[in-house]
């Protein structure tokens, strides 16, 4: 059996185990919901469930691209700053041209170009991803501040805002976008050669290279995809709040990373799923939703989130141990 | 580009680390363009400003050498500073308050270490979780308000001098030499190097990897407690957002200083230079009155340029 | 290698060719962040006034929004630079007292605007009373809903002076209307995305909401978007009198916004600093009158701040 075949077998094994873990995690979400439902009688209403799904869409879109990066044992700390710059540029283009399509192309394009730059820093210049994207975060923030000069851009055409606040068959539009990218992301990661190569790179870059995986090119792809997803997320934010401000992406990076990790993707690469990330995003959103519904002092938020992150990952580690 | 242009290739840079080059370039540049820069008062100013970050960056170097990370260090500093302030106001005893701050650092360091070493939760996630906990506790204790009314004796720790040298610089220098001695002249240091590069060898030698890891994170927590003393003295108050994001500044300083994230190769002097480079950049840009948005971008550029130069050196 | 040389040269040129100082008087202006339009209005105000008075202003803004240690470092750096005067908004009104004391010790006259520092010596304080603005704009909303119904408060950053005082004003207005019920009072950190999500969540619990009192305009915008997204109607007020708030008042989506006028505070703060330098008499305190901007009086606020002229101190004080 050659190395590539062995890698493939190993990946399929990882996959089934990952799917089982995603299932367990889903059980965890159901349990969490059951507890919350007893605490608040509006929690389990259709409206609130749709509300939670819509809110988690934003986190999921950012976190799904990031999942691919983390699968390769990398990290992207620039996604929040990426969201801010992409949103501000897209907002300008929509305002100037009046064309939502051009604006959307700008947002996603800007995100992808930033991701590409990250990929080049990480591969061609061999800067560790943590530091490269940290430096990128500062540079993007600087450009955003300079460009916006403390102003806001406000008021977009209704057809663009449908993307964030519209409904189709009673379900909010962002939820469709989320499901669409869940399918695309899941299929790409699990069912395509490129996806499997990404897992292989994360599991062991040396073996992957030896078995013929173009490691550099896949890495650049992964960062570009993560950037493009940040660009897409920026459009959802724009459409939802109908305005852009320089601090729009602040405080979004760490929750996105937390969603990926709570979703069971390992920071060491090679194991995890996009579906798991959705569950991670749901858990984090549910907690904030419940705290608002129960009107708990917001000072508790970081503490509760911290404990939940620790608990989720600890249970995950235990389950993995037992699974082996 | 004309061949007469400034070219780094002409310089014997092969052995000079990126951070040293960056620091020299920055100092020379600011020295020429900004009259106030190269004065003793301003140099003391830069060094004093850098002390708190250095107190965090030193243990961060050690932690990163073990292939770990401590994202909670800024939040622990904040919480320790709040506990310090509350204790000194309640009891009137600076000593007790300082011990309380160290206690907070110790608890969080121990917690991080146990979660990482015993429960096997990866450092990034562990400390992301404890970051949330420390930040939440800070908010809950203060309800978002500054804690004020600290006796002037605490402020003296930051503003006082001995033989003309500001106290914070003396404290930071002490911390540096202690860390240096720990890392390069004790068995603990040898094990730290092994934790990053060769964990198996430690096990074979019968040394408890868990115990060593816990000690490393406790060191981080204690240093955060020390830094809390300086921070509280500096602000003459404690504030629940004071240390937010300092963990990333510390990590960046360590990386700029040439410590590797993967192989466990640490360079403590590099961390010191990295911290000073960040301080020099910020101070120089302020003196030149460069707009804040450009300053933000410059910090990012500094990080990437320093690592880029290091990367080029490694390729030769 | 050549590329590196080019980029190094470019970076160096960019770094070290900062604006040169003229010999005229310079005033260092400290604001909290680069993202909130309020502080941009303050900066424009200081620059407009400086141009009219023939002085130079230099802006200092923390690179990390609202960072206490960073503003303190910037103050220390500026003291090295010795500007003729300082116009100062502390990031935190208590934690920056040591910074003010350092400025005092360096003998640089400092004028405090917007957030009143808890200590230190100032030439003067220029501000607006958050409490009375909160009170009057909340009264405007409570009157519009007929003195009865259900109301939600969106607070700013917990513990910040601005938020505390504005919310206190809101609550006192509520007390005057015993038939109004306060459903919830939750912080949304002065941010629109936070406000949007908090509002979406609160709408789940409360089927009937008549009014939303937001402690600044961006949160009011977030609340309006949340209400529109759920196809629900409620009257919303904000505070700051920002450009987008004025647009929303014009289009009828926002009932009113309290005029917390950063532009004028920047103007007057700078004018007082300059007068003090020229040994002219200055008032110890200037408080802007609480003005509620609504459908009846929004027209003057439509002009972008960059095009406005500074009112003089006399105009403000005599008002």
CA within 13 Å, CB half, B159: 16
Interchain CB distance below 8 Å, B300 and A304: no
Chain B environment of A313 (Cβ under 8 Å) = 121-122, 125, 129
Query: What 3-state class would DSSP assign to A29?
Result: helix
Cα C251–C316–C123 angle (5° rounding)? 120
**Chain C interface includes A194 (CB < 8 A):** no
Interchain CB distance below 8 Å, B300 and A140: yes
The CATH number of the structural domain formed by A3-323 is 1.10.3470
Alpha-carbon distance A37 to A214, whole Å?
Answer: 49
The tens digit of pLDDT for each residue in B146-198 reads: 888 888 888 888 888 888 889 999 999 999 999 999 988 998 888 888 887 77
DSSP codes, A70-93: HHTT---TTHHHHHHHHHHHHHHH
Interchain CB distance below 8 Å, C18 and B236: no
Can you give the pLDDT at residue C319? 59
The pair of three-digit structure tokens given for residue B300, joined into one six-digit string = 């990012």
Alpha-carbon distance A176 to A57, whole Å?
Answer: 9
Can you give the pLDDT at residue B250? 92
Number of H helices, E strands in chain C: 11, 12
Residue B87 lies in a domain: yes
pLDDT value at A9 more than 50: no
Can you give the pLDDT at residue C14? 47
Chain C stretch 141-170, residues whose beta carbon is closer than 8 A to a beta carbon of chain B: 157-160
pLDDT value at A222 more than 90: yes
The tens digit of pLDDT for each residue in B278-287 reads: 999 999 998 8
Can you give the pLDDT at residue A250? 77
Alpha-carbon distance C237 to C147, whole Å?
Answer: 15
Alpha-carbon distance B252 to B71, whole Å?
Answer: 12
Place of tokens 């200055």: C282
Per the prediction, chain B carries an average pLDDT of 87
Closest Cβ opposite residue B311 in set A126, A136, A145: A126
Cα distances from C83 to residues B91, C26, C121, in angstroms, run 41, 5, 17
**Chain B interface includes C22 (CB < 8 A):** no
Per-residue buried b or exposed e for B89-112, using 16+ beta carbons within 10 Å of the residue's own CB: eeeeebeebbebbbbbbbbbbbbb
Interchain CB distance below 8 Å, A292 and C201: yes
Domain boundaries, chain A: 3-323
Q: How many CB pairs under 8 A join A and B?
A: 147
Interchain CB distance below 8 Å, A306 and B125: no
Alpha-carbon distance B254 to B19, whole Å?
Answer: 10
The length of chain C, given as a count of residues = 319
Cα distances from A293 to residues C159, C187, C194, C204, in angstroms, run 22, 13, 15, 8
> Which of A70, A303, A322 to mutate against chain B (most B CBs within 10 Å)?
A303
Q: ipTM, 2 decimals? A: 0.85
pLDDT value at B15 more than 70: no
CA distance B59 to chain C (A): 21
Interchain CB distance below 8 Å, A240 and C202: no
Mean pLDDT confidence for A190-210: 88
User: Which of A237, A182, A235 has its CA nearest to residue A60?
Assistant: A182
**Which of the residues in chain C have pLDDT under 70?**
1-23, 318-319
Closest Cβ opposite residue B129 in set A135, A300, A310: A310
User: Which of C300, C258, C280 has its CA nearest to residue C38?
Assistant: C258
Domain that holds residue B121: 49-248+260-266
Which of A19-23, A69-73, B292-296 has the lowest average pLDDT?
A: A19-23
Which of the four pLDDT bands, split at 50, 70 and 90, describes residue A18? low
Chain A stretch 67-86, residues whose beta carbon is closer than 8 A to a beta carbon of chain B: 77
Residue B284 lies in a domain: no
Asked if residue A288 lies in contact with residue C197, where contact means CB atoms within 8 angstroms, the answer is: yes
Interchain CB distance below 8 Å, C94 and B36: no
Alpha-carbon distance A203 to A11, whole Å?
Answer: 9
Alpha-carbon distance B271 to B253, whole Å?
Answer: 6
The pair of three-digit structure tokens given for residue B256, joined into one six-digit string = 């700029």
Chain C stretch 232-271, residues whose beta carbon is closer than 8 A to a beta carbon of chain B: none
Place of tokens 């002219």: C280
Chain B environment of A139 (Cβ under 8 Å) = 296-297, 300-301, 304
Chain A environment of C153 (Cβ under 8 Å) = none
Can you give the pLDDT at residue A323? 61
> Which of C61, C77, C92, C105 to mutate against chain B (most B CBs within 10 Å)?
C77
Q: What is the CA radius of gyration of chain A?
A: 20
Query: What 3-state class would DSSP assign to C5?
Result: helix
Place of tokens 């999921």: A60
Alpha-carbon distance B58 to B172, whole Å?
Answer: 10
The tens digit of pLDDT for each residue in A113-142 reads: 999 999 999 998 888 898 899 999 999 999
Residue B156 lies in a domain: yes
> Which of C160, C193, C253 to mutate against chain A (most A CBs within 10 Å)?
C193
Can you give the pLDDT at residue B13? 42
Residue B304 lies in a domain: no
Interchain CB distance below 8 Å, C65 and A250: yes
CA distance C117 to chain B (A): 13
Closest Cβ opposite residue B132 in set A126, A268, A302: A302
* Per CATH, domain C130-258 is 3.40.50.300: no
Closest Cβ opposite residue C1 in set B8, B32, B282: B8
Q: List alpha helices for B186-291, DSSP H.
A: 187-197, 199-204, 209-235, 246-256, 268-287
User: Which of A50, A77, A62, A195 has its CA nearest to residue A137?
Assistant: A77
**Chain C interface includes B30 (CB < 8 A):** yes
Residue B299 lies in a domain: no
Question: What's the maximum distance between 2 C-alpha atoms anywhere in chain A?
Answer: 61
| Run of H or E including A243 | strand A243-245
Interchain CB distance below 8 Å, C18 and B245: no
**What is the third-level CATH fold of C23-128+262-289+312-318?**
Rossmann fold (3.40.50)
Asked if residue C292 lies in contact with residue C231, where contact means CB atoms within 8 angstroms, the answer is: no
**Distance between first and last Cα of chain A:** 24
Asked if residue C25 lies in contact with residue C56, where contact means CB atoms within 8 angstroms, the answer is: yes
Alpha-carbon distance A304 to C188, whole Å?
Answer: 17
pLDDT value at A47 more than 90: no
User: Which of A241, A89, B15 has its CA nearest to residue C225?
Assistant: A241
Can you give the pLDDT at residue B314? 64
The pair of three-digit structure tokens given for residue C241, joined into one six-digit string = 């009198």
Locate CATH 3.40.50.2300 in chain C.
Answer: 23-128+262-289+312-318, 130-258
Asked if residue C260 lies in contact with residue C241, where contact means CB atoms within 8 angstroms, the answer is: yes
**Chain B interface includes C11 (CB < 8 A):** yes
Q: Which residue of C has its CA nearest to B48?
A: C73
Chain B environment of C157 (Cβ under 8 Å) = 144
Chain C environment of A145 (Cβ under 8 Å) = 34-35
Closest Cβ opposite residue B287 in set C5, C9, C81: C81
> Which of A135, A143, A322 to mutate against chain B (most B CBs within 10 Å)?
A135
Alpha-carbon distance A75 to A67, whole Å?
Answer: 9
Chain C environment of A247 (Cβ under 8 Å) = 33, 35-36, 65, 191
The tens digit of pLDDT for each residue in A282-298 reads: 989 988 888 888 878 77
The tens digit of pLDDT for each residue in B114-145 reads: 999 998 888 999 999 999 999 999 999 988 88
Interchain CB distance below 8 Å, B146 and C16: no
Can you give the pLDDT at residue B12? 41
Which of the four pLDDT bands, split at 50, 70 and 90, describes residue A324? low
Closest Cβ opposite residue B9 in set C1, C73, C92: C1
**Chain B interface includes C1 (CB < 8 A):** yes
Place of tokens 């020295």: B31
The pair of three-digit structure tokens given for residue B281, joined into one six-digit string = 């950049």
The length of chain A, given as a count of residues = 324
CA distance C234 to chain A (A): 17
**Chain B interface includes A291 (CB < 8 A):** no
């Amino acid at each position: 059996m050659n190395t590539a075949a062995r890698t493939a077998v190993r990946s399929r094994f990882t996959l089934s185990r990952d799917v089982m873990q995603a299932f367990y995690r889903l059980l965890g979400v159901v349990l969490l919901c059951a507890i919350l439902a007893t605490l608040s009688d509006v929690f389990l209403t259709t409206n609130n469930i749709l509300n939670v799904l819509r809110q988690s869409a934003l986190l999921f879109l950012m976190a799904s691209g990031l999942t691919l990066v983390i699968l390769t044992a990398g990290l992207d700390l620039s996604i929040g700053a990426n969201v801010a710059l992409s949103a501000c540029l897209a907002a300008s283009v929509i305002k100037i041209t009046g064309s939502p399509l051009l604006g959307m192309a700008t947002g996603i394009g800007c995100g992808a170009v930033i991701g590409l730059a990250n990929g080049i820093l990480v591969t061609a210049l061999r800067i560790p991803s943590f530091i490269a994207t940290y430096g990128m975060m500062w540079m993007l923030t600087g450009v955003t501040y300079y460009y916006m000069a403390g102003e806001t851009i406000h008021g977009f055409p209704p057809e663009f805002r449908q993307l964030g606040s519209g409904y189709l068959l009673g379900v909010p539009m962002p939820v469709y976008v989320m499901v669409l990218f869940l399918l695309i992301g899941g299929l790409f990661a699990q069912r395509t050669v490129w996806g499997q190569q990404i897992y292989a790179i994360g599991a062991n870059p040396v073996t992957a290279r030896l078995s013929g995986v173009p490691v550099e090119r896949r890495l650049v792809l992964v960062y570009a995809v993560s950037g493009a997803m940040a660009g897409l997320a920026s459009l959802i934010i724009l459409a939802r709040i109908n305005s852009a401000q320089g601090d729009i992406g602040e405080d979004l990076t760490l929750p996105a990373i937390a969603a990926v990790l709570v979703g069971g993707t390992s920071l060491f690469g090679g194991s995890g799923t996009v579906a798991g990330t959705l569950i991670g995003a749901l858990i984090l959103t549910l907690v904030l939703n419940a705290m608002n519904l129960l009107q708990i002092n917001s000072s508790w938020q970081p503490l509760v989130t911290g404990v939940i992150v620790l608990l989720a990952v600890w249970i995950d580690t235990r389950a993995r141990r037992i699974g082996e | 580009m004309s061949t007469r242009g400034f070219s780094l290739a002409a310089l014997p840079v092969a052995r000079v680390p990126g951070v040293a080059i960056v620091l020299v370039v920055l100092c020379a540049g600011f020295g020429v363009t900004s009259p106030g820069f190269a004065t003793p008062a301003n140099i003391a100013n830069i060094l004093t400003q850098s002390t708190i970050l250095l107190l965090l960056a030193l243990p961060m170097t050690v932690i990163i050498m073990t292939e770990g990370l401590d994202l909670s260090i800024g939040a622990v500093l904040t919480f320790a500073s709040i506990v310090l302030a509350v204790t000194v106001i309640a009891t009137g005893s600076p000593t007790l308050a300082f011990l309380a701050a160290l206690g907070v650092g110790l608890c969080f360091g121990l917690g991080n270490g146990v979660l990482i070493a015993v429960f096997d939760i990866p450092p990034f996630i562990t400390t992301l979780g404890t970051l949330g906990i420390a930040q939440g506790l800070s908010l809950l204790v203060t309800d978002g308000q500054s804690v004020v009314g600290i006796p002037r004796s605490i402020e003296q720790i930051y503003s006082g001098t001995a033989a003309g040298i500001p106290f914070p610089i003396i404290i930071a220098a002490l911390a540096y030499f202690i860390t240096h001695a720990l890392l390069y002249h004790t068995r603990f240091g040898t094990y730290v190097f092994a934790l990053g590069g060769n964990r198996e060898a430690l096990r074979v030698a019968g040394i408890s990897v868990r115990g060593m890891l816990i000690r490393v994170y406790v060191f981080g927590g204690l240093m955060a407690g020390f830094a809390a003393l300086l921070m509280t003295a500096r602000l003459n108050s404690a504030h629940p957002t004071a240390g937010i994001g300092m963990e990333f500044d510390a990590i960046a300083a360590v990386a700029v200083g040439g410590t590797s994230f993967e192989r466990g190769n640490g360079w403590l002097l590099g961390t010191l230079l990295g911290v000073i480079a960040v301080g020099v950049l910020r101070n120089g840009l302020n003196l030149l009155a460069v707009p804040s948005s450009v300053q933000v971008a410059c910090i990012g550029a500094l990080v990437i340029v320093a690592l880029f130069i290091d990367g080029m050196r490694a390729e030769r | 290698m050549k590329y590196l040389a080019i980029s190094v040269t470019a970076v160096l040129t960019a770094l070290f060719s900062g604006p040169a100082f003229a010999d005229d008087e310079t005033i260092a202006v400290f604001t909290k962040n680069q993202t909130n339009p309020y502080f941009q209005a303050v900066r424009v105000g200081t620059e407009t006034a400086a141009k009219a008075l023939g002085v130079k202003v230099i802006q200092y803004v923390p690179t990390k929004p609202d960072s206490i240690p960073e503003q303190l470092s910037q103050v220390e750096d500026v003291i090295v630079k010795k500007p003729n005067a300082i116009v100062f908004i502390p990031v935190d009104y208590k934690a920056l007292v040591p910074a003010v004391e350092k400025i005092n010790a360096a003998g640089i006259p400092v004028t405090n605007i917007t957030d009143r520092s808890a200590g230190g010596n100032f030439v003067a304080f220029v501000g607006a009373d958050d409490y009375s603005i909160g009170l009057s704009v909340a009264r405007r909303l409570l009157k519009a809903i007929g003195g009865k119904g259900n109301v939600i408060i969106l607070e700013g950053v917990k513990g910040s002076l601005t938020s505390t005082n504005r919310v206190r004003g809101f609550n006192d207005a509520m007390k005057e209307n015993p038939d109004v019920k306060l459903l919830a009072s939750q912080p949304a950190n002065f941010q629109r995305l936070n406000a949007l999500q908090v509002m979406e969540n609160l709408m789940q619990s409360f089927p009937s909401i008549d009014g939303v009192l937001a402690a600044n305009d961006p949160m009011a915008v977030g609340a309006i978007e949340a209400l529109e997204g759920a196809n629900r109607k409620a009257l919303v007020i904000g505070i700051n009198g920002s450009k987008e708030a004025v647009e929303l008042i014009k289009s009828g989506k926002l009932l009113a916004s309290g005029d917390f006028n950063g532009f004028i505070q920047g103007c007057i703060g700078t004018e007082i600093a300059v007068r003090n330098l020229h040994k002219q008499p200055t008032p110890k305190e200037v408080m802007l009158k609480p003005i509620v901007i609504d459908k009846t009086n929004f027209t003057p606020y439509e002009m972008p701040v960059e095009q406005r002229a500074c009112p003089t101190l006399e105009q403000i004080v005599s008002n």
